[in-house]
Chain A
Amino acid sequence: MLKKRPSLRSDIEKLLRKERLGVIATRGEPYPYATLVGFSFTKDLKRLFFATMRSTRKYRNILNNQHVSVLIDTRKNDIDDFKDAVALTILGRAAELEKADKKKYLTLYLKRFPHLKSFIEDPETALVEIQVDRYIFVRRFQEVKELSLI
C-alpha cells in the first residue's frame, strides 16, 4: 500500500513557519537584485510581508516593477542539504501597504520579529506586502511541485 504524503500546502506552511528569512529578488536594470529579508505570512498563504526602508534599492525596484521572487530554504551549508534541504520559490506582486492595512498586518509581523519594533516604527520604513501567485516547492534535490493561487 502506497502511503500518502502530507499535502503540498502543509509542507509549504511548515516551511514558512520554520524559516524567518528569505532572499527576495526584485527586477532592477540591468541586473536582478537579490537581498535578504525577514518575512511574515498570512495563514491562507496568500500574502507575505517584509519591512524595508524606502531608500533601499529593492524598494525602488518594486516601485518600477511589482513582480518579485522570494527564495526560502532550509539549507545548513552541509552535504546533507542535497538530501534534506527544501526550498520554496515564491512568485508574486509586491506593493507597500497603505496606512490602514499596515496597522492590520503590523501585529503579525511584530509577533515574529519583536526585536524589529523600533525599525518598523521608523517613518521611513515601509511594510511591503507580496500577493502570492505561485509557490514552487523543491525537495530531494530535484522534486519540484507547484501550488498556484491564481
Chain B
Amino acid sequence: MTQYTVAIKDIVREENLNCGNKARALSIMTSEDIRLPDGICITPDAYKEFITQTGLKGRILMELGRKDLKDMRWEELWDASLRIRNMFVRTPLYPSLREDIISGLPKPLQRKPVVIRSSSTAEDTQGTSFAGLHDSFVNVTGIDRILHHIKLVWGSLWSDAALSYSKELSLDINNSAMSVLIQNMIVGTKSGIAFGEDPNDPKKAVIEAVYGLNKGLVDGDIEPDRWVVSGETGRIVSQHQSAHARYTTVTTEGTILKKKNLAGTRSPLLNKNEISEIFSTLTTIQNIFGSKQDIEWTFRRGLLYILQARPITVRSSRDNNKRRVWDLSLRRSIDNLNNLSEKIEKVYLPAMTKAANKLSGRDLNKKSDEELAQEIAERKKAFDYWRAIYWNEFIPFAHGFRLFGQVYNDRLSPEDPYEFVDILATSHLLSLERNRALESFAKDIFKSSQGLPRSDSDPVLNDRLEKFIEKFTGVSCDITKCQDEKETLLNIARQLLHKSPSKKNRPGRREKKKKLFLNSFSKKDRAYAENLLDIGRKSYRLRDDDNIYLGRFEGLLTEAIEESRKRLGRRCKDTYTCSNPEEVIRALHFRTYKPKAVKESTHKDSHIKVQARQLRGQPASRGIAEGTARVLSTAEDLGLVQNGEIVVCDAIDPNMTFVIPLVSAIVERRGGMLIHGAIIAREYGIPCVTGIPDATDLIKTGDYLTVDGYYGLVIVHDQKEAQEKRSAVHRLSTKKENIS
C-alpha cells in the first residue's frame, strides 16, 4: 500500500477509505474466499489530488458552467464530456503521483495484461445502480498504457451518461471522485452474467453465457445462451440456445469481436455442473451482501472467476425520463454500427429516394380539393414514417463519429478535441455539393445576363431556377410557384459572385492527420482503425445528408400545404393558421371549416428592455468574426442575407445552407458541436457558436456582433462601439480598394 494505492483485499479493512461500492464488493468477496482476479485500487484521493494540483478542477468547473446540465441536449452533454475527457488525456501525471502509483502496482501487474475498471464513489449503491456510466478497459499492458487508461477512467467520471444522471449521482466537483481498479486480466474461454432475480419473475434467476470474454454480451453485440433457473434451488426451468456465431477475444490492446467456426458449437455452452457452480456462487454472494445480485463471471482452465457483483436495480423501468433513456441507448459498439451502416446505405437511403421521387412531380394544380387532401395525408404519412426512421436508426448511427472522435483523442491527444472532424469531413456532403452547384450556376447566369436578371421577365432563367430547386429540394415548381424561393436563390447567387474566398478545409492536412491516426495502431489492429474511420466518415456524412433526405419529404408536404393555402384563401389568416396538415385536410374537406392556428412559440423575455451584452454557448467551429447580425425567423429572411453578415437562428437546416458561403459566422439556439450548422461552419472555416437558448430573442437583426468560436462567446456591441467598429471596417475596405 502506498499513499494512493491499496490492495483490493485490504479495502474491507480500511473503514475510512471509500473506493466506491464496486471495489468494496470485490474486497468483501475476496475476504469470503470467492475466486477473483488479484489487483489494486487507486484511491479517490489520487483523483482529487490530480485535478487539484494540475488545475483541472477549475477547468472542469468552467466547462460545466456553460449551461445548466438539465438544459443541455444529448449532443451538448457529449460535447462537454468530450472536452473534459480530452483535458484528462492531455494533462500529464505529475512525477510524485506517477511514482506513487507505479510503486503501488505489483510487479506482475506491471508486465501482464490488466483490466482497468472505474469504481465511482457514487455508483452501485443499494437501490441505485448506474452501471455503464463510467469507462472500464480490458487488456491493457505496460506502465505507460496503464497510467494513460487511469486518466481515461478518471475522465469518465464526467461522461455524457454520468452528466445526464448528475442529479441522481449528486455529481459535484468538490465531492465526487473516482477510484480505479487495476486487476489481473483473466482471459476466459466462456463468460457471462448471472442475475439473481428474473425481471419477469422474482422467484427465478437468470444465467447467460457467451464464448470468450463477456464484453460482447455486455455491449449487446452477441446473443447469449440463456438459462432461467429456480431462484431457490438452481433447477433449470428453461433454456435458450443462441447461434454461437461470434465471440469476443483479446487483440494487441483491447478486445475484438470475431466470427466463430460453428463446427462443434451446437451443444449448449454450459453443462449442468457449470450452471450449478455459477448458481451456487451467485447464492453465496447474495448471502454475503444480503441482497439479490447481478454478477459477471468467466471460466478459465475450468476454474470459475467472479469479475464483478452489484446489487440488482431496475433503472430503466424506474427512470421516468424517457428522453434520457433514449439518449443513453444511443451508445453503440463498432459492430452494431457496422450493421446499422449497411442497413442505412443499402436499404433506407435508396428507399427514401424512391419514395420521395414517387411523390414529387405530381401536378397539384390539377387535383380537386378532395384529391389534394389525400395528397397531403399521403405526404404527411411518408414524412412521419421517415422521420421515425431518422430518429430510430439515423440518429443512433451518429454515434459512429462520436466513437471515432473518442478513439482519435485517446490515441493522439490533440489540443483541439474536435480535430478529428477534419478527417471525417469529405467533400461529398450533399449540402456542399449543392452550394458548389449554386456557385457555378451564379457564375453562369450572371455572365449571360445584362444587369440584374429577374426570373419573372426571363423565361430561360426561370426554367433554370425551377430545375435547380427541383433537383435539390424535390419540390416541383411552375410559373406561379416557388416565386420566393427563386428570388432568394437569385439574391444569394448574385452575392456569391462578390464574396471573398472562404478558408475551407485543406485536403493535405486531412490526409496527414488520417495517416497519423492509422499509424498510431499496430499492424494487427490497423483493420479495426480503418473500419472505425470508415464508420466515422459514413456517420458524419449521414449526419449532414440525412437532413437533406428527410428535408425532401418535409418540402413535399410544405408544397402541398402551400397549394391548399392558395385555395383556402381567407380561411388561412396567416402562416400559423394553415401549418397543421390535419387542420388543412379538414378545411379542404369542409368548405366552412376554418383551420385553427398552431400556437407560435414565444421565447420573449417579459421585460422589453433586456439587451444581451455577452452570451455564452458552445464553441462549435473555431475562429473570430465580427459583423452585423441577421436573425432568421422565417424562410423569407433567407433572401435578405447580405455578404459578411452573421446568421442567428434556431438551427441551420438543409434549406438554409445556401446562404452559408455568404456569412461570416453562425450563432444557433440549438446546441451541439456536431449538428448540421457546426459541420457546415467547419467546412467553410467560419466561426460557429451553438446552444444559446435565447439568441434569437436577445439578438436583433442589425446588431453588431463579435463571435468567438474558440471560447463559445457572442458579444453584442452597444451602438457606440458598433459605430466605431463599422467605421474601422469601412476605412479598411476603402484603403484596400485604393491600394488595389
Contact = CB atoms under 8 A, between A and B. Distances in A.
A15 to B, nearest CB: 15
Given A2-B603, A146-B610, A82 B61 contact: yes
Interface string B239-261: 00000000000000000000000
A149 B610 CA distance: 9
Interface string A107-150: 00000000000000000000000000000100011111111110
B698 interface: yes
Nearest to B57: A79
Interface string B596-628: 000000010111011111111000000000000
B283 to A, nearest CB: 46
B669 A145 contact: no
Given A5-B693, A80-B61, A144 B614 contact: yes
B361 to A, nearest CB: 35
A101 interface: no
Nearest to B66: A140
A7 interface: yes
Given A2-B693, A82-B58, A147 B614 contact: no
Nearest to A1: B601
Nearest to B602: A4
B452 interface: no
A3 interface: yes
A141 B71 contact: no
Contacts of B613: 136, 144-146
In this complex, the interface size class of chain B, counting residues with CB under 8 Å from chain A, is 20 to 34
A9 B606 CA distance: 8
A83 interface: yes
Nearest to A141: B65
A83 B173 CA distance: 11
A110 to B, nearest CB: 29
B607 A9 contact: yes
A143 B693 CA distance: 12
Given A5-B693, A5-B694, A146-B613, A82 B62 contact: yes
A79 B57 CA distance: 8
Nearest to B612: A145
A143 B71 CA distance: 16
Contacts of A136: 613
Given A142-B616, A143-B616, A83 B611 contact: no
Contacts of B65: 82-84, 140-141
B174 interface: yes
A12 to B, nearest CB: 9
Interface in B645-693: 669-670, 693
A88 B631 CA distance: 28
A135 to B, nearest CB: 10
B605 A7 contact: yes
A82 B59 CA distance: 10
Interface string B162-180: 0000000000011000000
A8 interface: yes
A81 to B, nearest CB: 9
A147 B606 contact: no
A145 to B, nearest CB: 5
Nearest to B603: A4
Contacts of B614: 142-144
Contacts of B603: 2, 4
Contacts of B57: 79
B64 interface: yes
Contacts of B71: 2-3
B64 to A, nearest CB: 6
B425 to A, nearest CB: 27
Given A143-B616, A144-B612, A7 B62 contact: no
Contacts of A2: 71, 603, 669-670, 693
A148 B605 CA distance: 13
A86 to B, nearest CB: 11
B713 A145 contact: no
A141 B603 CA distance: 23
A79 B58 CA distance: 7
A142 B689 CA distance: 14
Contacts of B711: 142
A41 B286 CA distance: 62
Nearest to B715: A144
B610 A79 contact: no
A99 B698 CA distance: 41
B90 interface: no
Interface in A32-61: none
Nearest to A4: B603
A136 B694 CA distance: 17
A80 B607 contact: no
B494 interface: no
16 contacts: A2-B71, A2-B693, A8-B607, A8-B610, A9-B606, A83-B61, A83-B62, A136-B613, A140-B67, A141-B62, A142-B614, A144-B612, A145-B610, A146-B611, A147-B609, A147-B610
Interface of A: 2-5, 7-9, 79-80, 82-84, 136, 140-149
